[in-house]
């Protein structure tokens, strides 16, 4: 490719790759890896159909682009917009800026609040004494069994 290289910035971070993104006929084309991973959580490639599906959260986008130059090239602006991202291209610096929407905060439980006694007089606690233990029978007594030893004689 002799087209000019384009710097890609996703959420304020530059995406570095061995093969840079290129501006081709007004469209920024980039290799699938690592640029699509900067945008998506799931990527699936169907080489027989020549389609690429990228997805993040509940949004997904299937694009029909055959492999080229030893790898699949995807239009980054189209892919980002398809996932709900905002895209801006600065022609002077040849930079494509992509901003992904902020993730929704997780629902959290209300923080634990310590015990607050009800207004008014506090209840009182009067301990009761522990009852005195009574002896119990743990078993039935058995007679002593002494072995009988016979010595000599008939």
How far is the C-alpha of 29 from the C-alpha of 33, rounded, in Å?
12
23-31 contacts at long range (C-beta below 8 A, 24 or more positions apart): 23/94, 27/75, 27/77, 27/78, 28/75, 28/76, 28/77, 28/89, 28/96, 29/73, 29/74, 29/75, 29/76, 30/6, 30/73, 30/74, 30/76, 31/71, 31/72, 31/73, 31/74
pTM above 0.85, yes or no: no
- CA-wise closest residue to 6 among 82, 65, 91: 91
Q: What is the pLDDT of residue 147?
A: 67
What does the pLDDT average to over 42-61?
84
pLDDT in tens, 81-109: 988 899 999 999 999 999 988 766 666 66
What are the beta bridge partners of residue 67?
72
pLDDT in tens, 11-43: 889 998 888 888 888 888 888 888 888 888 888
**Residue 29 neighbours by CB distance under 10 Å:** 23
């Amino acid at each position: 490719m002799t087209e000019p290289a384009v710097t890609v910035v996703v959420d304020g971070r530059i995406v570095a790759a061995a093969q840079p993104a290129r501006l081709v006929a007004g469209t920024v084309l980039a290799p699938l890896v690592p640029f699509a991973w900067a945008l998506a959580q799931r990527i699936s490639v169907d080489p027989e159909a020549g389609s690429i599906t990228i997805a993040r959260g509940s949004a997904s986008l299937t694009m029909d682009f055959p492999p080229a130059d030893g790898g699949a090239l995807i239009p980054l602006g189209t892919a980002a917009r398809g996932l709900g991202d905002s895209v801006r291209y600065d022609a002077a610096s040849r930079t494509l800026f992509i901003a992904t929407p902020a993730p929704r905060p997780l629902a959290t439980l209300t923080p634990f609040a310590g015990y607050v006694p009800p207004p008014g007089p506090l209840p009182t606690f009067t301990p009761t004494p522990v009852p005195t233990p009574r002896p119990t029978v743990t078993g039935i007594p058995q007679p002593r069994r002494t072995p009988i030893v016979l010595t000599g004689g008939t």
